[in-house]
Amino acid sequence: MSRSSSSAMRYGLILWVLLMGLMPSAQAARNHHHHAVASDPSSMALLSSTALVIDQTTQQVVFSKNPDPIHPIASITKLMTALVVLESAQDLNEQIAVSDEDVDTLRFTRSHLRVGVHASRLDFLRMALIASENRAASALGRSYPGGIHAFVERMNAEAARLGMTSTHFEDSSGLNGNNVSTAHDLAILVQAAMQYPLIHEITTTASISVPVGFRGRPIVFRNTNPLVAKPDWDIGLSKTGFINESGQCLVMQATISGHPMVIVLLDSRGKHARIGDANRVRKWLEAHSQVTVGQL
């Protein structure tokens, strides 16, 4: 082999090594351009099997993890219950009472509300949304004109009107495992419920005291989402849910880094998993705040 040929080979080899070194960086730059916000669910290591985060201003999905399956939604149902009560303009000052029909004979959940206790429809709404009181939600549905069956029909009609095409309800509390929806449908529900200042006010209240105990003794009902009491969170709406079939669920509207976000977390396993996931989502959004909006 001539000296010139040998030099040419060495030059070619050096050039090939340099090009190989540059290619990963170029590929990384292309990937960054097309995926300004990481879509890999492992980047947050969420415990929820389904997660969806939507920028409410642009309606863009900024994060998703397995968002399409239809899940039981447990007490997230109570958001639709509240929506129907308010949409139908029922008298919030009317006194309603807990009856035997409101006692949970499906899962035998406990309740602070004794059969026969009276309160205003507004207080029943507060107890259902803040503390996820099942008897309160049942009484709200039962006291609707036409009773619980008419109320559930209205719930399903409202879901259809909103475009929640994969959603179905069979009760007003969420104890029925056949109350199902998807993350995308629940994002629609959250935004519809946000149109009511009263739902915003109630669901972001840390606790209330209602005189529904023995001989009118006040009972304190605490919010099932402890994040609403945290001053570093700016939450506009919140609702939790849990039955065995659904796992731990949480839907929220929250302003993070100046952007209103809808967060849906479904089927999280572990008592505090959904709250941990909400904090992980917030940290992730704060870290990506410069690239989440308008760059997907």
Active-site residue identified among 48, 65, 111, 132: 132
Q: What CA–CA distance (Å, rounded) separates 61 from 65?
A: 11
Which of 179, 83, 174, 189 lies closest to 133 in space, CA to CA? Answer: 174
DSSP string, 258-289: TEEEEEEEEEE-STTHHHHHHHHHHHHHHHTT
- Confirm whether 49 is a catalytic residue: no
Active-site residue identified among 48, 65, 75, 173: 75
Q: How many CB atoms lie within 10 A of CB 250?
A: 26
CA distances (Å), origin 264, targets 53, 91, 189: 6, 31, 11
Which of 143, 122, 262 lies closest to 198 in space, CA to CA? Answer: 122
- Confirm whether 283 is a catalytic residue: no
- Confirm whether 39 is a catalytic residue: no
Active-site residue identified among 78, 172, 181, 268: 78
What are the residue ranges of helices labelled H in 49-92?
77-87
Residue where the block lists tokens 């302003």: 255
CA distances (Å), origin 187, targets 106, 112, 161, 238: 28, 30, 15, 12
Cα separation of the two ends of the chain: 55
Catalytic residue IDs: 75, 78, 132
